[in-house]
Amino acid sequence: MKARRQKTDGQTTGAKTDRILLAHGSGGVLSHELIHSLFARHFYNSKTSPILDNLRTETVRGDAAVLQSLPPGNVALTTDSYVVKPLFFPGGDIGKLAICGTVNDLAVAGATPLYLSAGFILEEGLPMDILERVVISMTQTSHAAGVQIVTGDTKVVEHGAADGLFINTAGIGIIASDTQNPIVLTPANLRAGDVLLINGTVGDHGVAVMTQREELSFGSALESDCAPLNGLIAVLLSAVPGAVRCMRDATRGGIATVLNEWAEAGVGIEIEEEAIPVREEVRAVCEFLGLDPLYAANEGKVVIAVASEAAETALAALRSHPLGENAAVIGHVTAEHAGRVVLRTPYGARRILLMLTGAQLPRIC
């Protein structure tokens, strides 16, 4: 009996390599090795789980994970791709970002994030230890956020056809339906008088990535704020049940863009410039480079609209959590100038804050 195998590109079966080869995306032997020796090894959770057993045995093609015990409620689904450059930056990396971003998209919809998928697009030649550092970071961040990576996929493209490593995560969460007031968070809920809050300083992520990318040194500890916000948001929602109108994590385009999207729902928005928390270092870098922290990306900041009578309690709830210690009231919703965001400066001037019109910083997430 003679063995028959397909022609190969010269890669010996089972060889360990220190770089990603095209064959790691073939669906064949090297694909399986990559899953078992890297993805499943890290993503696998020691808790016995039929879901994770599925991950352990599935192929690189990404067969479906079966989620056998979802809690009651509406299912929320979201996705984001991550192309941040560089892959590692102060306070985070593309892997941490890929978990936090998708967790946060679910959390701001009022959902409890539960399960994520992870799709990798790898450039041929990517050092294996870079990929492993990213996978370890994803594992640690998903543990911190209390979510599980249950299914995945890997593709490899030729050297030069991608820039190192891109990640897509999709996530599902549950919006609890067992309360008297099912959570439906949308800008359509906004009413004149609602109070606007943020859980801390703005612009940290954008400025940290940019200074890293441009190899600028400002002699200070600029760090991305990249963090999973589901814990903070759970504290907030239980502190002021039924009072949160709308939430949005202020990523690309910054808080200015979030507020403009909300104004498009047909309300006016007024913001106090002085009330918006900005780190001194971030302000300095922005001034140096002609940027505006209100348009800079965040990866751990949520803009929140609450009914005015709940604002004080909401602020206290945010400040009780480590990710909200610099929380602040930044403005309110008005009946005037519907569709517009107006910024009041410390000197009493009023300016219209427009939506971001160009690409402030490409590949910020």
Among positions 130-169, residues that touch a second copy (CB under 8 A) are 150-153, 155-158, 160-163, 166, 168
* Integer Cα distance of 173 and 105 in angstroms: 10
Instruction: Tell whether residue 230 is a contact of a second copy (CB under 8 A).
Output: no
Say if residues 263 and 340 touch (Cβ distance below 8 Å). Answer: yes
* 71 scored as a contact of a second copy (CB under 8 A): no
Q: Pick the stretch among 67-75, 89-97, 130-138, 229-237 that binds a second copy (CB under 8 A).
A: 67-75
Residue 283 φ/ψ, nearest 5 degrees: -60, -40
Contact segment (CB under 8 A) with a second copy among 137-145, 209-217, 243-251, 308-316 equals 243-251
**Is residue 195 within a helix (H) or strand (E), and if so which, with residue range?**
strand 195-198
Site for a second copy in 170-229 (CB under 8 A): 170-173, 175, 184
Applying CB under 8 A, which part among 138-146, 230-238, 253-261, 304-312 lies near a second copy? 253-261
Between 170 and 308, whose beta carbon lies closer to a second copy?
A: 170
336 binds a second copy (CB under 8 A): no
Largest CA distance in the chain: 88
Closest distance to a second copy from the beta carbon of 115 (Å):
6
Reading the block at residue 308, the tokens are 């005015």
Within residues 78-97, the interface with a second copy by CB under 8 A covers 78-83, 85
- Of the residues 46, 48, 68, 181, which one makes contact with a second copy according to CB under 8 A: 68
Beta carbons of 295 and 225 less than 8 angstroms apart: no
The span of 18-26, 86-94, 191-199, 237-245 binding a second copy (CB under 8 A) equals 18-26
Burial class (CB in 10 A: 0-12, 13-18, 19+), 352: exposed
Angle at which helix 128-145 crosses helix 94-108, to 10 degrees, equals 30
CB of 32 to a second copy, least distance (A): 7
Residue whose C-alpha is closest to residue 121's, from 86, 152, 85:
152
Q: Which is nearer to a second copy, 141 or 251 (CB)?
A: 251
Tell me if 196 sits within 8 A of 269, measured CB to CB. Answer: yes
Q: Which is nearer to a second copy, 22 or 308 (CB)?
A: 22
119 binding a second copy? (CB under 8 A): yes
Q: Which stretch binds a second copy (CB under 8 A): 38-46, 86-94, 325-333, 350-358?
A: 350-358
Closest by CA position to 206, among listed 298, 294, 286, 91: 298
